[in-house]
Amino acid sequence: MEKLLIFIPAYNCEKQVPRVLSQLLDPHVLPWVGECIVVNNRSTDGTEAAVQDWMARHPAAPVRLLRNDENYGLGGSHKVAFGYAAAHGYQHLVVLHGDDQGAVADLLPILNDGTYKNYDCCLGSRFMKGSRIKGYSALRVVGNYGFNALFSLVAGRTITDLGSGLNLYAVEPLKTEYYKKFPDTLYFNDCMILALCQLKQRVLFFPISWREEDQVSNNKLTSFGISLLKLCGRYLAGKQKFVTREWREKPIENYTSSVIASNL
């Protein structure tokens, strides 16, 4: 059984992140976990203390807490984790957001039957047959279906989610760092999806369960929708340039972090 790197991006989710970590203790999930890194993106609440408290109560759990050396944004935290996975010899990396909206156990079907090995990335989808959503307004659901259809038309392949908080990536394709110039913001995943299409990578969407209960969204729907339309326009204007252009307002050469605590 392959050991996976679990990456939990965390920002101001002190209430939720202990629940996310506890998902890894599931006896069906734990055998797959080689190591879990919680990447704290300079949270301003008690996220870091909550992780350390959980680690102290579960000393056998293979968890390491990292703190970004700067506030890199969600995309920047992904870049920290992608580099970590490559540097430490992992073959696959799982992204599991720290706000406890997704369930890592939803990966088990494609892990247990080996399906994940046939793809460059497996992306959790909230909006396909077999998915389950709790707490989303009808407006958000309709809006997501609309943008999924638009991106599918633009990319020339079926896209059923523009970026959930549960994804699995093969590490080998990431070693080229094609993603490095992508935005460090919430738009990172949207750029990634279009880039995956342009690069003709093997992509699988799989159904997941998703819930909104006590989470706080950092996403402003109107401005986000306008930005998605602009992304589509830029992709159509030049697909190759879309992948290679500089998207960041502040280019960063190295995305670094510091180890704050480790059970390993």
For residue range 116-131, what is the model confidence (pLDDT) as tens digits? 999 999 999 999 999 9
Look up tokens 């055998």; give the residue: 31
- The two tokens of residue 241 are 């340039």
pLDDT of 83 reads: 98
Q: Taking the C-alpha atoms of 120, 202, 176 and 7 in order, what is their torsion angle to the nearest 10 degrees? A: -30
d(CA 237, CA 231): 10
d(CA 165, CA 185): 14
Let me know if 260 is exposed, middle or buried by CB neighbors in 10 A (0-12, 13-18, 19+): middle
Among the residues of 58-209, which ranges form H helices?
73-87, 108-112, 138-155, 188-198
Q: Could you tell me the pLDDT band of residue 144, with boundaries at 50, 70 and 90?
A: very high
pLDDT of 215 reads: 52
Backbone angles phi, psi at 148, to 5 degrees: -60, -40
d(CA 79, CA 188): 10
Q: Is residue 152 within 8 Å of 159, Cβ to Cβ?
A: yes
Q: Is residue 33 within 8 Å of 3, Cβ to Cβ?
A: yes
Q: Is residue 39 within 8 Å of 257, Cβ to Cβ?
A: yes
Among positive and negative, which fits the CA dihedral 20, 16, 124, 183?
A: negative
Chain centroid, CA 232 distance in Å: 21
Q: Is residue 133 within 8 Å of 210, Cβ to Cβ?
A: yes
d(CA 63, CA 165): 19
pLDDT of 136 reads: 85
pTM score, two decimals? Answer: 0.95
The CATH superfamily assigned to 4-262 is Spore Coat Polysaccharide Biosynthesis Protein SpsA; Chain A (3.90.550.10)
- The two tokens of residue 55 are 């680690």
Q: What is the percent of the chain where pLDDT is above 90?
A: 92
**SS3 (DSSP) at 66:** strand
What is the mean predicted confidence (pLDDT) over 237-260? 96
